[in-house]
């Protein structure tokens, strides 16, 4: 089973992941993994196979003003694209707001 949990920073995503899906290996903070992949010159989409079969959390980073720094803009774009790819393959997708989960898939 693959589960994606998105939401703002410090909204309870990790707690929900660990309590609702204790049997799945968590990946907390997908946005950080994308940043590391980009810094290492790897494509973030290459992370997708390793995320399957896990519960993955990702901060919502795509809202607001587009960054002036092209690297920051690319990081946000690549994180969003990877989340879309993971959501398409996931068995469940949740959005967490103020600790309240909303299942969207």
In the predicted model, is pLDDT for residue 64 greater than 90?
Answer: no
Mean pLDDT of the region 82-105: 97
CATH code of the domain covering residue 57: 3.40.50.300
Q: Which pLDDT belongs to residue 62?
A: 83
* β-pair type (3-7, 100-103): unpaired
For residues 2 and 76, what is the distance between their CA atoms, to the nearest angstrom?
22
Helix, strand, or coil (residue 7): strand
**Residue 97: which domain range?**
3-62+71-103
What is the pLDDT of the chain when averaged over all its residues?
96
Question: Which residue in the block uniquely carries the two structure tokens 């589960």?
Answer: 3
DSSP 8-state class, residue 4 = E
Collect all residues with Cβ–Cβ distance below 8 Å to 23 and sequence separation of at least 6: none
Among the residue ranges 66-70, 79-83, 101-105, the one predicted with the least confidence is: 66-70
Tell me how many domains the chain contains.
Answer: 1
């Amino acid at each position: 089973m693959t589960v994606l949990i998105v939401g703002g920073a410090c909204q309870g995503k990790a707690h929900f992941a660990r309590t609702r899906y204790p049997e799945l290996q968590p990946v907390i903070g997908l946005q950080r993994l994308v940043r590391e992949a980009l810094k290492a010159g790897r494509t973030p989409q290459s992370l997708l196979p390793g995320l399957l079969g896990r519960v993955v959390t990702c901060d919502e980073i795509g809202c607001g003003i587009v960054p002036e720094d092209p690297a920051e803009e690319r990081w946000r774009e690549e994180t969003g694209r990877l989340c879309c790819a993971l959501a398409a393959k996931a068995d469940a997708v949740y959005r967490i707001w103020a600790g309240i989960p909303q299942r969207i898939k």
